[in-house]
Structure 1
């Protein structure tokens, strides 16, 4: 992978974030929300509202407001929350850290189950093991998160009392309790990803195991395990990497239901609260931070692609 390609991708990330910033700023300008009214209340006088709008620059042209906002973002200033009156950046990055913690544990748990399931199903294609893995995958795809989350809370937390039903404890504060509170949401979030990735690995590995270079490896006398891990699984993982990269975006913003059910203060839940309260600075910053995270993850997926398959050349 050439240095010029890496520079091009980094430039593309900044260009993407610039377009996202334009879109999210433009959309928030047409939302039915008045920052001055939200800060002073609906009973504030017209003079007080107008004075606050002038002091905040809300009466300036939109392009000037955008330049002022993006200039602050570049310097690390994402503005002040209209709902809490606190700086947006620290609160959102704390929520992002919580979501990333959930994402890392979910991806680790998913890979630990999905890869062996896909490999076993491919090796035992058409047999009972393959049919059983397929059956589990179909169930995982069919059940939405709010159903599995509700069932997990009902049976595991409420009836059996094995794990806490909700709440979040930072791992830095209490690792044991933090892990106990993460078990249920991690399992719930991972179910649908396990279904997707295991089926993808199974399908790709079945195709790879019937290629000419795998037959040649058998003829050379290589062991079945070495052929499977070094030649088969390595190539079968390429499409799964794309699925995992897409799942990161899903984990950051698409698990709002799980965060709500388990009371996890993640970035998806923070954005939902901001949308309901018409907290424009939080919405703008939250979308931009999620877009940046998603762009970086996709860039990392391309790097892993090139590392796994030397035939892939990025110019």
Structure 2
């Protein structure tokens, strides 16, 4: 285990370095001049040149990256050219909103997806399977932004069951925080729930027809024990893979949901920084998302060995 973790940590460090290079070069390939955005459209060429020199944009790219990498090693993500606020403060102020939303959406997706997937597999060929398949098809077909607008129109404005916008931190009032995040979390998790449902159903059907399940039934194991203890546990390996891949994607992909529901999260910060050509904020956001992917994938690999003893984290079979 320790050797595996050290190897993965080394690979993660190399990935972060390569990601920082790609992000640094890609951000500077964006159209527009950040110095002009800071100085204003009416600024004189001399003023724009002075701002560019102040931001270090008049230096060669390799010099700019060297300074950027040196600051990263010291834990300094830079300062926003738009607001003058340290990037680390902007990220720590908005990331918890997106993190809570993503975790809530993942919870909704797991409960709904695994539940409907198990029911569809156990009740194969009956009406529960038809309902589950219809739900997954509908959830995958309807865009999340359209589903969010319909939810606000009917559930928030029409019936008043949920707030249409706003955010309350869980540290201030946990119940109100759950209340405000329920509707956006359901909208964000619906598509993932459909994917989990289909994968869980397929994996459950395969496991239910396996030899070890038939052996358990022959030994007199109850139906619930066969479904939950044997078939579902092995099927959860697929679910863990999906959750691990999608959790990082939800953190970076919750932009639309946050904009629709007016949440001051990571998505709003990302869009604002892109529109204003705020290089340091864009670079900090992408690096944080990259780090989230690395940590989540490492956690998924470790969880594999817990769910299925046949899988050894270091590689190979026992």
Check the 8 A contact 1:38/1:82 in 2, yes or no.
no
Equivalent residue for 1:168? 167
Q: What are the residue-to-residue correspondences of 1:299-314 with 2, within 5 Å?
A: 299-313=298-312, 314=314
Q: What are the residue-to-residue correspondences of 1:150-169 with 2, within 5 Å?
A: 150-169=149-168
Give the superposed CA RMSD.
1.6
Instruction: Find the aligned partners of 2:172 and 2:44 in 1 and give their Cα distance.
Output: 46
Check the 8 A contact 2:254/2:267 in 1, yes or no.
yes
Unaligned runs of 5+ in 1: none
Check the 8 A contact 1:21/1:288 in 2, yes or no.
yes
**Which secondary structure does the structure 2 equivalent of 1:265 belong to?**
coil
The answer to whether structure 1 residue 276 and structure 2 residue 278 are counterparts is no
**Which secondary structure does the structure 2 equivalent of 1:82 belong to?**
coil
Equivalent residue for 1:6? 5
Tell me whether 29-38 or 253-262 shows the greater mean CA deviation. 29-38
**Which secondary structure does the structure 2 equivalent of 1:310 belong to?**
coil
Check the 8 A contact 2:34/2:276 in 1, yes or no.
no
Check the 8 A contact 1:141/1:192 in 2, yes or no.
yes
Post-superposition Cα deviations, 1:281-315, rounded to whole Å, max 9, x if no partner, equal: 11111111111111111111111112111111224
Count of residues paired in the alignment: 314
**Which secondary structure does the structure 1 equivalent of 2:166 belong to?**
coil
Post-superposition Cα deviations, 1:28-71, rounded to whole Å, max 9, x if no partner, equal: 22223334333333444444443443343322221121121122
Equivalent residue for 2:31? 32
Equivalent residue for 2:115? 116
Instruction: Find the aligned partners of 2:29 and 2:190 in 1 and give their Cα distance.
Output: 38
Check the 8 A contact 1:110/1:191 in 2, yes or no.
yes
Equivalent residue for 2:253? 254
Report the TM-score, using the length of structure 2 for normalisation.
0.94
Q: What are the residue-to-residue correspondences of 1:33-48 with 2, within 5 Å?
A: 33-48=32-47
Instruction: Find the aligned partners of 2:122 and 2:308 in 1 and give their Cα distance.
Output: 22
Equivalent residue for 2:216? 217
Instruction: Find the aligned partners of 1:94 and 1:221 in 2 and give their Cα distance.
Output: 56
Q: What are the residue-to-residue correspondences of 1:78-227 with 2, within 5 Å?
A: 78-227=77-226
**Which secondary structure does the structure 2 equivalent of 1:85 belong to?**
coil
Report the TM-score, using the length of structure 1 for normalisation.
0.95
Equivalent residue for 2:75? 76
Instruction: Find the aligned partners of 2:31 and 2:113 in 1 and give their Cα distance.
Output: 45
Instruction: Find the aligned partners of 1:120 and 1:261 in 2 and give their Cα distance.
Output: 33
The answer to whether structure 1 residue 18 and structure 2 residue 14 are counterparts is no
Instruction: Find the aligned partners of 1:25 and 1:304 in 2 and give their Cα distance.
Output: 33
Check the 8 A contact 1:137/1:199 in 2, yes or no.
yes
